[in-house]
Amino acid sequence: MSKNAEALAAQIKGAAGDAPVRLGLILGSGLGHIADEVDGVAIPYGDLPGFPHAGVSGHNPNLLIGDLEGVRVAVFGGRAHYYESGRGDAMRLPLEVLRALGADMMIATNAAGSMRDDMPTGSIMCLSDHINFSGLNPLIGEPTDARFVPMKDAYDPDIRKDLRAAAAAAKVEMADGVYAWYSGPSFETPAEIKAIKMLGADAVGMSTVPEVILARFLGLKAAAISTITNMAAGMSDEAISHEHTKAMAPVGAAKLEKVLRGYLCGLR
Ligand code: HPA
């Protein structure tokens, strides 16, 4: 753990109290309203030295510490993407801070394009695995042997089982699938989508994979849920744009929130 992360954790505890955080939630594009449901203290990233700028529209760069369904959570309203800075490890410090606040798990959410007809716009998908199609890795440059992180079961099987149970209890349909990471910021071509579909990917997006690698590196259990905001390029005539992503994210977000709330209730 870096000294910077320890210092930031102390600063955050000074503002939000000492009680340990149970888990971290990273919110994807257009999914920020979950942060409004948390009863707690919001700290702008700008007040946390070293935190990323996280300036993508549809994100809210605050760290929120508080209770959701009676569980103490840290909600990262803004995530930094590789495509903003060219840095794959932009979320390393926030995740180190999460660990220093006492959490042992992280759940990432994202907006994604679907390559499956049974996963239309507005549906949600629990990630079972990923394909790092960007060729980048947030641990490049890490000097210790800890960089050789095993990635089997990176998406924690127990958390996934509990998320599935929460979805069933809430009568929310949630698919299981493989997420492919494209660096962005341009969207994929239809040929690229055809290729990753053949390779076994079910959904595509520009985030989450670096965070999951970093989380595993830091000893945090990880899980992730996508809201499908569009059919991927070439899969339909649907528009693909960031505006469309932000407009469509709330459709799946309501389902995602039900699943998360149910999961948190089970943690109490
Ligand atoms: N591709 C990449 N990222 C995305 C998409 C997509 O189709 N939809 C939402 N985020």
Matching residue, tokens 């600063």: 11
**What does residue 125 show for φ and ψ, rounded to 5 degrees?**
-135, 130
As given in the structure block, the two tokens for residue 266 are 């089970």
Q: What is the pLDDT of residue 78?
A: 80
Residues 123, 209, 131, 56, Cα dihedral to 10°: 60
How much is the pTM?
0.96
Index of the ligand 1 atom closest to the CA of residue 245: 9
Centre of ligand 1 to C-alpha 236, Å, is: 13
Euclidean distance between the first and the last CA atom of the chain, given in angstroms as a whole number: 27
Cα distance between residue 115 and residue 230, in whole Å: 9
Reading the chain (268 residues) residue by residue, the pLDDT tens digits are 788 999 999 999 999 999 999 999 999 877 777 888 888 999 999 999 999 886 677 667 899 999 999 999 999 988 889 998 898 999 999 999 999 999 999 999 999 999 999 999 999 999 999 999 998 999 999 999 999 999 999 999 999 999 999 999 999 999 999 999 999 999 999 999 999 999 999 999 999 999 999 999 999 999 999 999 999 999 998 878 888 888 888 888 999 999 999 999 999 8
* Cα–ligand 1 centroid distance for 255 (angstroms): 19
Q: Tell me the residue ranges of DSSP E strands in 81-197.
A: 105-114, 124-132, 174-181
Helix (H, G, I), strand (E, B) or coil at 131: strand
Pairwise CA distance, residues 89 & 212, whole Å: 11
Residue 144 vs residues 8, 67, 90, 148: alpha-carbon distances, Å: 23, 36, 19, 9
How many CA atoms, within 13 angstroms, populate the side-chain half-sphere of residue 26?
Answer: 28
Phi-psi label, residue 141: left if phi above 0, alpha if psi -120 to 50, beta otherwise: left
Q: Is 53 a catalytic residue?
A: no
Q: Which residue, 180, 198, 168, is CA-closest to 135?
A: 180
**What is the pLDDT, as a whole number, of residue 59?**
64
Q: Is 68 in the pocket of ligand 1 (CB under 6 A)?
A: no
Residue 261 is encoded by which pair of tokens? 């709330």
Q: How far is CA 217 from the centre of its chain?
A: 16
207 is catalytic: yes
Q: Which of 45, 74, 81, 96 is catalytic?
A: 81
Catalytic (active site) residue 206: yes
Binding site membership of 58 for ligand 1 (Cβ less than 6 Å): no
